[in-house]
Amino acid sequence: MTEHGHHHPHAGHSHDEGHSHATDAELAQMLDLDALILGSYLTDATAWAAELAGHEPETILDVGAGSGVGTLALARRFPSAHVTALDISAQMLATTLGSAAASGLDGRIAGLQANLNEEWPASATADLMWASSSLHELADPERTMAEMFANLTPGGLLIVIEMDGLPSFLPERLQEGSSVVNGMESRLHASLASNGWNQYPEWTAGLERAGFTVERRHFPTQGSATPELAARYGRTFLGRIAPALAGAVSPADLASLELLLGDGPESLERRGDLVVRGHRTGWAASKP
């Protein structure tokens, strides 16, 4: 949903793949677009959780819930469970609860405002915990892993999800009038990665140190989107990363980015070659 890693702390969690200062409303829009276009991973990951859980969980905690796309997916996958969305942002929790009400799930979803960089809330116990693009935002993830372990019921399950890279939209050979620009998006992503965007450690060892038994799974996704939706997501994301790229990539790549974000014939909305792609890794951590 940070959809992409994201850096604006929500329960120590940020739903922004970089170091921008987007508002909660802008971040919620980004997460909702990510779920709308790349959300098939939610179907696969919640099915994986159901397979590994062994029995229907009665209580689920979405840690760093953001706009609530994971919260709602969990509530739909586990129709008997009560789901709590935990986030530092009151606005994000209000968005989640509003979406739950609109979906007829409000009786099964609650919000819990907390900053996990301070302390784990005493009421945050569950049979199943879910942390999507949130664990890497915490000041001390290993402390939080130990707290998750302690607050899961025996036999409980923690699912951690991270984006493997930033979402991509552009073809490798980008047509600009009569010219072709090769590999621009890869260069933009490499520049952002060198500045720490969307970085997280391999969580297996830390989860095992907390006491969990761990397995991993990869979730590759090519989004299903109309050209209008692909352009909306592309404009939202590329517009947000553009300030971080000034002075960090070549003037030619900045000029190409400016054309994409403009309103001329090379703009995102007038292209027919956008394909939204995103890849995620999941860790299933079981408590004995």
In this predicted model, which residue has the larger pLDDT, 64 or 193?
64
Dist. CA 251–CA 247, nearest whole Å: 8
Q: Roughly what angle, to the nearest 10 degrees, separates helices 24-38 and 227-245?
A: 130
- Give the pLDDT confidence score for residue 1 in this predicted structure: 30
- Give the pLDDT confidence score for residue 22 in this predicted structure: 55
Give yes or no for residue 281 having a pLDDT over 50. yes
Dist. CA 160–CA 207, nearest whole Å: 10
Is this structure's pTM higher than 0.75? yes
Residue 196 pLDDT level (bands cut at 50, 70, 90):
confident
Q: What domains are there in the chain, each with its CATH number? A: 6-166+198-224+278-286 (3.40.50.150)
Answer whether 129's CB lies under 8 Å from 156's CB: yes
Give yes or no for residue 50 having a pLDDT over 80. yes
Residues 6+ apart with CB under 8 A from 158: 128, 129, 130, 131, 148, 149, 152, 207, 212, 283, 284, 285, 286, 287
| pLDDT (tens digit per residue) in 136-169 | 889 999 999 999 999 999 999 999 999 887 889 9
Burial label, 246 (beta-carbon count in 10 A; 0-12, 13-18, 19+): exposed
What percent of the chain has pLDDT above 70?
Answer: 91
Among candidates 45, 273, 253, which has minimal Cα distance to 170?
A: 273
Find the mean pLDDT for residues 5-32.
51
Tell me the three state secondary structure of residue 61: strand
Find the mean pLDDT for residues 261-277.
93
Give yes or no for residue 7 having a pLDDT over 60. no
| pLDDT (tens digit per residue) in 82-133 | 999 999 999 999 999 999 999 999 899 999 999 999 999 999 999 999 999 8
Residue 17 pLDDT level (bands cut at 50, 70, 90):
very low
